[in-house]
Amino acid sequence: MFDKKMPEAWRVLRIQAEIVDGIEHLIKIQHAVNIFGSARLVETNPYYAEAEKLGSLLSQAGLSVITGGGPGIMEAANKGAYQKGGLSIGLNITLPHEQKPNKYQDINLSFRYFFVRKFMFFKHAIAFAIFPGGFGTLDEMFEAVTLIQTEKSEPFPVVLIGKAYWQGLLTWMQDVVLANNCITDIDLNLITLVDSADEAAHIIIEHYRKHVANQADS
């Protein structure tokens, strides 16, 4: 939470320390998939099972899995990766409620500042997989497509899982945002909508293989 008593100069040093610590802990990670979604979707929710399956599939393909480190969808994705022997990473955030680290993490980092945490999410990402969630999940999704749209990041898949949940948002973006020329067709096509972990894994793994092949050729 925001510390009003801390002098500005000391706050800058704390931010710097978080960045350095995060970089040092994650420096050896080459290819990671960020999986986002609500902390409130518990084990009995169908999306929990799909997130666990996606974490497992990506792990078996040799990809690291990064989540926000908390409960719900984050726990499910970490669990799927962790139990298959893949590298399971949680980038936690200090919050007044909901955010308690799950137990399925090989690397567990905790951040005070959202923007430092976001930087760590993007630093090693080759794809974003996004399950149903609230403001935090929406923030991460729009941040991803904005960075790709503005060419501040290399293009990578931004895959939404759950047509029943996401279709209304995409329809509004097409019928209102696109119709008012606030985005283009190209921008809208940065987002892919699927309905299962299998579909999401196929898109992400194919991108990963092409990414590795391009690196080998360069």
| DSSP reduced 3-state for 71 | coil
Please give the pLDDT value at position 3: 57
Query: pTM higher than 0.95 for the full model?
Result: no
- The owner of tokens 């936690």 is 92
pLDDT digits (tens, 9 = 90+) for 64-80: 999 999 999 999 999 99
The percentage of residues in the chain with a pLDDT greater than 90, rounded to a whole number, is 76
Please give the pLDDT value at position 4: 60
Contact 173, 160 (CB under 8 A): no
Contact 69, 90 (CB under 8 A): yes
* Mean pLDDT on 52-73: 96
Instruction: Give the bridge partners for 194, in sequence order.
Output: 161
Contact 121, 66 (CB under 8 A): yes
Distance separating alpha carbons of residues 52 and 82, to the nearest angstrom: 10
* Mean pLDDT on 106-113: 91
**Contacts from 199-206 at CB under 8 Å and sequence distance 24+?**
199/161, 200/54, 200/129, 200/159, 200/161, 201/54, 201/57, 201/58, 201/61, 203/127, 203/157, 203/159, 204/33, 204/58, 204/63, 204/126, 204/127, 204/129, 204/157, 204/159, 205/57, 205/58, 205/61, 205/63
Angstrom CA distances, 23 to 9, 85, 119, stand at 22, 23, 10
Please give the pLDDT value at position 109: 92
Please, what is the angle between helix 197-217 and helix 46-60, to 10°? 30
Distance separating alpha carbons of residues 79 and 51, to the nearest angstrom: 9
pLDDT above 80 for 1:
no
CATH topology of domain 26-217: Rossmann fold (3.40.50)
Q: What is the mean pLDDT of the chain?
A: 92
Radius of gyration of the chain (CA): 17
Contact 14, 112 (CB under 8 A): yes
Please give the pLDDT value at position 30: 83
pLDDT above 80 for 98:
no
Contact 127, 209 (CB under 8 A): no
pLDDT digits (tens, 9 = 90+) for 119-149: 999 988 999 999 999 999 999 999 999 999 9
pLDDT above 80 for 172:
yes
